[in-house]
Structure 1
Amino acid sequence: MAHLLGAEALHLEFPTKTVFDGVTIGLDEGDRVGIVGRNGDGKTTLLRMLAGRLEPDSGRVTRRGGVRLGMLDQSDDLATGRTVREVVVGDRAEHDWAGDARTRDVMAGLLGDLDLDARVDDLSGGQRRRVALAAVLIGDWDIVFLDEPTNHLDVEGISWLAEHVKKRWPAGQGAFVVVTHDRWFLDEVCTATWEVHDRVVEPFEGGYAAYVLQRVERDRMAAASEAKRQNLMRKELAWLRRGAPARTSKPKFRIDAANQLIENEPPARDSVSLASMAMQRLGKDVVDLENVSVSFGERHVLRDVTWRIAPGERTGILGVNGAGKSTLLALVAGTLQPTTGRVKRGKTINVAVLTQQLDELRDVWDDRVSDVIGRLRRTYVTGGKELTPGQLLERLGFTSAQLSTPVKDLSGGQKRRLQLLLILLDEPNVLILDEPTNDLDTDMLAAIEDLLDGFPGTLLVVSHDRYLIERVTDQQYAVIGGMLRHLPRGVDQYLELRANGLGSSPARAAAAAPAEGTSAPPSLGGAELRALQKEEQSLSRRLEKLATQREAIHTRMAEHDQSDYAGISALAEELRALETEVSAAEDRWLEVSERLG
Structure 2
Amino acid sequence: MAHLLGAESLHLEYPTRIIFDSVTVGLNDGDRIGVVGRNGDGKSTLLRLLAGRLEPDAGRVTRRGGIRLGMLDQADELHSDRTVHEVVIGDIDEYVWAGDPKVRDVIAGLIADIPWEARVDDLSGGQRRRVALAALLIGDWDVIFLDEPTNHLDVEGIAWLAKHLKNRWSRNVGALVTVTHDRWFLDEICTATWEVHDRLIEPFEGGYAAYVLQRVERDRMAAASEAKRQNLMRKELAWLRRGAPARTSKPKFRIDAANELIENEPPIRDSVSLAQMAMQRLGKDVVDLENVSVSFGEVDVLRDVTWRIAPGERTGILGVNGAGKSTLLNLVSGTLLPTSGRVKRGKTIKVAQLTQQLAELADVWNDRVNDVISRQKSSYLAGGNVLTPGQLLERVGFQSAQLSTPVKDLSGGQKRRLQLLLILLSEPNVLILDEPTNDLDTDMLAAIEDLLDSFPGTLLVVSHDRYLIERVTDQQYAVMDGHLRHLPRGVDQYLELRAGTSAASGPKPEPAVGTAVGAGTAAPAAKAGDGLRPELQRAGGADLRNAQKEFAAAGRKLDKLSAHIQDVHARMAAHDQSDYAGLGTLSQELAAIEAERGRLETRWLELADVLGE
Query: What pairs up with 1:215-364 in 2 under 5 angstroms?
Result: 215-252=215-252, 256-364=256-364
CA contact (8 A) 2:292 2:339 kept: yes
Partner-residue secondary structure (3-state), 1:289: strand
- Counterparts in 2 of 1:8 and 1:553: CA distance versus 1, 3 Å: same
Q: State the AA in 1 paired with 2:128.
A: R
* Cross-structure match for 1:209: 209
Structure 1 residue 244: deviation in Å? 2.8
* Cross-structure match for 2:488: 488
Structure 1 residue 252: deviation in Å? 3.0
- Counterparts in 2 of 1:430 and 1:361: CA distance versus 1, 3 Å: same
Partner-residue secondary structure (3-state), 2:501: coil
Q: State the AA in 2 paired with 1:434.
A: D
* Cross-structure match for 2:132: 132
Please give the per-residue CA displacement for 1:236-264, whole angstroms capped at 9, x wherever unaligned: 01101112322112253656554333111
- Counterparts in 2 of 1:46 and 1:234: CA distance versus 1, 3 Å: same
Q: TM-score, normalised by structure 1?
A: 0.87
Partner-residue secondary structure (3-state), 1:304: strand
Q: In structure 2, how many angstroms separate the alpha carbons of the residues matched to 1:484 and 1:578?
A: 24
Partner-residue secondary structure (3-state), 2:18: strand
Q: TM-score, normalised by structure 2?
A: 0.85
CA contact (8 A) 1:308 1:551 kept: no
Structure 1 residue 355: deviation in Å? 0.4
* Cross-structure match for 2:581: none
Query: What pairs up with 1:100-499 in 2 under 5 angstroms?
Result: 100-252=100-252, 256-499=256-499
- Counterparts in 2 of 1:127 and 1:437: CA distance versus 1, 3 Å: same
337-346 or 309-318: bigger deviation: 337-346
Structure 1 residue 299: deviation in Å? 1.2
Q: In structure 2, how many angstroms separate the alpha carbons of the residues matched to 1:422 and 1:378?
A: 13
CA contact (8 A) 1:9 1:22 kept: yes
Q: State the AA in 1 paired with 2:493.
A: Q
261-270 or 383-392: bigger deviation: 261-270
Q: In structure 2, how many angstroms separate the alpha carbons of the residues matched to 1:550 and 1:408?
A: 56
284-293 or 144-153: bigger deviation: 284-293
CA contact (8 A) 2:358 2:416 kept: yes
- Counterparts in 2 of 1:317 and 1:200: CA distance versus 1, 3 Å: same
- Counterparts in 2 of 1:550 and 1:90: CA distance versus 1, 3 Å: farther
Q: In structure 2, how many angstroms separate the alpha carbons of the residues matched to 1:433 and 1:387?
A: 22
Structure 1 residue 224: deviation in Å? 2.1
41-50 or 290-299: bigger deviation: 290-299
Q: In structure 2, how many angstroms separate the alpha carbons of the residues matched to 1:342 and 1:140?
A: 55
Structure 1 residue 307: deviation in Å? 1.1
Q: In structure 1, how many angstroms separate the alpha carbons of the residues matched to 2:551 and 2:363?
A: 41
Structure 1 residue 464: deviation in Å? 0.2
Q: In structure 2, how many angstroms separate the alpha carbons of the residues matched to 1:108 and 1:502?
A: 11
Pairwise CA RMSD: 3.3
* Cross-structure match for 1:520: none
Please give the per-residue CA displacement for 1:318-357, whole angstroms capped at 9, x wherever unaligned: 0001111111111111111111211111110000000001
Q: In structure 2, how many angstroms separate the alpha carbons of the residues matched to 1:146 and 1:32?
A: 11
* Cross-structure match for 1:84: 84
Please give the per-residue CA displacement for 1:340-385, whole angstroms capped at 9, x wherever unaligned: 2111111100000000011111100011000000010001111111
CA contact (8 A) 2:10 2:59 kept: yes
- Counterparts in 2 of 1:366 and 1:577: CA distance versus 1, 3 Å: same
- Counterparts in 2 of 1:283 and 1:111: CA distance versus 1, 3 Å: same
Q: In structure 1, how many angstroms separate the alpha carbons of the residues matched to 2:602 and 2:301?
A: 29
- Which consecutive residues of structure 2, in runs of 5 or more, have no partner in the other structure? 505-531, 569-594
225-234 or 415-424: bigger deviation: 225-234
Structure 1 residue 205: deviation in Å? 0.8
Q: In structure 2, how many angstroms separate the alpha carbons of the residues matched to 1:298 and 1:181?
A: 39
Q: In structure 2, how many angstroms separate the alpha carbons of the residues matched to 1:417 and 1:550?
A: 44
Please give the per-residue CA displacement for 1:435-482, whole angstroms capped at 9, x wherever unaligned: 000000000000000000000010000000000000000111101111
Please give the per-residue CA displacement for 1:91-148, whole angstroms capped at 9, x wherever unaligned: 1121110111111111111011111111111100000000001111111000000000
Segments ≥4 residues shifted beyond 4 Å: 253-258, 548-557, 559-568, 570-588
CA contact (8 A) 2:551 2:607 kept: no
Q: In structure 2, how many angstroms separate the alpha carbons of the residues matched to 1:565 and 1:279?
A: 21
- Counterparts in 2 of 1:125 and 1:571: CA distance versus 1, 3 Å: farther
- Counterparts in 2 of 1:347 and 1:503: CA distance versus 1, 3 Å: farther
Report whether the alignment pairs 1:58 with 2:58.
Answer: yes
4-13 or 254-263: bigger deviation: 254-263
Structure 1 residue 538: deviation in Å? 12
Report whether the alignment pairs 1:96 with 2:96.
Answer: yes
Q: In structure 1, how many angstroms separate the alpha carbons of the residues matched to 2:334 and 2:287?
A: 10
CA contact (8 A) 2:318 2:478 kept: yes
Number of residue equivalences: 558
Q: In structure 2, how many angstroms separate the alpha carbons of the residues matched to 1:271 and 1:256?
A: 29
- Counterparts in 2 of 1:443 and 1:96: CA distance versus 1, 3 Å: same
Partner-residue secondary structure (3-state), 1:181: coil
Q: State the AA in 1 paired with 2:339.
A: T
Please give the per-residue CA displacement for 1:247-286, whole angstroms capped at 9, x wherever unaligned: 1122536565543331111111111111111111111111
Partner-residue secondary structure (3-state), 1:501: helix
Q: In structure 2, how many angstroms separate the alpha carbons of the residues matched to 1:551 and 1:271?
A: 22
- Counterparts in 2 of 1:247 and 1:70: CA distance versus 1, 3 Å: same
Partner-residue secondary structure (3-state), 1:19: strand
- Which consecutive residues of structure 1, in runs of 5 or more, have no partner in the other structure? 505-531, 589-597
CA contact (8 A) 1:488 1:579 kept: no
Partner-residue secondary structure (3-state), 2:356: coil
CA contact (8 A) 1:550 1:578 kept: no
575-584 or 548-557: bigger deviation: 548-557
* Cross-structure match for 1:75: 75
- Counterparts in 2 of 1:488 and 1:255: CA distance versus 1, 3 Å: farther
Q: In structure 2, how many angstroms separate the alpha carbons of the residues matched to 1:313 and 1:502?
A: 31
Please give the per-residue CA displacement for 1:149-206, whole angstroms capped at 9, x wherever unaligned: 0000000000011011111111101000000000000010000111000000111111
Partner-residue secondary structure (3-state), 2:245: coil
CA contact (8 A) 1:488 1:576 kept: no
Q: State the AA in 1 paired with 2:12.
A: L
Structure 1 residue 85: deviation in Å? 0.9
Q: State the AA in 1 paired with 2:227.
A: A
Please give the per-residue CA displacement for 1:520-566, whole angstroms capped at 9, x wherever unaligned: xxxxxxxxxxxx9xxxx999x99x999x9899989989x99997669
Query: What pairs up with 1:514-593 in 2 under 5 angstroms?
Result: 587=612
Structure 1 residue 20: deviation in Å? 0.5
Q: State the AA in 2 paired with 1:418.
A: L
Partner-residue secondary structure (3-state), 1:496: helix
Please give the per-residue CA displacement for 1:296-331, whole angstroms capped at 9, x wherever unaligned: 221111111111111100000000011111111111
* Cross-structure match for 2:37: 37
CA contact (8 A) 1:281 1:429 kept: yes
- Counterparts in 2 of 1:136 and 1:221: CA distance versus 1, 3 Å: same
CA contact (8 A) 2:551 2:608 kept: no
